[in-house]
């Protein structure tokens, strides 16, 4: 059921982008899954195939349409860590996004120099690496660098 929900969330994000070609691709994927199921391909295999196709499609679309302005210009390695020199160097790619959210007044809590954000569906779509996270905290150190200092996972109390 979790896989189905994730596919629905990703599909909604693509639909919200408004790109008819991408939406048509999703319809084709959905039709393909129906055909695979009808010839006896295991449901989980269908879901994994669909999720992979949809995720790759969304990632391609995100690069063009949905990259937040605050993340443009950073070099990120394959592990999702910023390698560009500066305030966010060595941090996960989502840290500048949440820092920008805080600068715009968007944090959920702020205590003892740590800024906390509750992570939700929109965040999971933007940053799939946070899909099991329900809360993060970031902080600016005395040297001016900003980093992730706290991560609370779904179903757990601390990172």
Would you state the pLDDT for residue 61? 55
17: helix, coil or strand? Answer: helix
**For the segment 34-68, what is each residue's pLDDT rounded down to a tens digit?**
666 666 666 556 566 666 666 666 665 555 445 67
Is the pLDDT reported for residue 83 higher than 60? yes
Mean pLDDT of 139-154: 85
Would you state the pLDDT for residue 65? 47
Mean pLDDT of 132-148: 88
Would you state the pLDDT for residue 159? 47
Is the pLDDT reported for residue 108 higher than 60? yes
**For the segment 7-21, what is each residue's pLDDT rounded down to a tens digit?**
666 666 666 655 566
Q: Are 101 and 108 in contact (CB under 8 A)?
A: no
Beta bridge partners of 29: none
Greatest C-alpha distance within the chain: 61
- The domain spans of the chain are 2-66, 69-153
Is the pLDDT reported for residue 97 higher than 80? yes
DSSP-assigned letter for residue 82:
B
Residue whose entry in the numeric block shows the structure tokens 């999971």: 124
138: helix, coil or strand? Answer: strand
Is the pLDDT reported for residue 89 higher than 80? yes
Is the pLDDT reported for residue 103 higher than 50? yes
Angle formed at CA 120 by CA 117 and CA 6, multiple of 5 degrees: 150
Would you state the pLDDT for residue 46? 58
Would you state the pLDDT for residue 1? 46
Would you state the pLDDT for residue 128? 83
* pLDDT interval class at 88 (50, 70, 90): very high
């Amino acid at each position: 059921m979790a896989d189905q929900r994730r596919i629905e969330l990703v599909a909604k994000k693509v639909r919200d982008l408004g790109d008819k070609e991408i939406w048509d691709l999703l319809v084709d994927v959905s039709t393909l899954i129906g055909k695979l199921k009808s010839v006896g391909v295991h449901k989980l295999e269908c879901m994994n195939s669909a999720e992979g196709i949809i995720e790759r499609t969304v990632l391609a679309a995100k690069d063009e349409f949905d990259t937040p302005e605050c993340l443009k210009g950073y070099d990120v390695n394959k592990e999702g860590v910023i390698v560009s020199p500066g305030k966010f160097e060595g941090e996960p790619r989502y840290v500048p996004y949440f820092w920008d959210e805080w600068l715009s007044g968007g944090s959920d809590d702020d205590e003892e120099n740590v800024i906390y954000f509750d992570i939700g569906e929109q965040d999971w779509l933007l940053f799939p690496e946070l899909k099991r996270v329900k809360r993060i905290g970031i902080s600016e150190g005395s040297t001016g660098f900003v980093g992730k200092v706290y991560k609370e996972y779904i179903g757990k109390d601390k990172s």
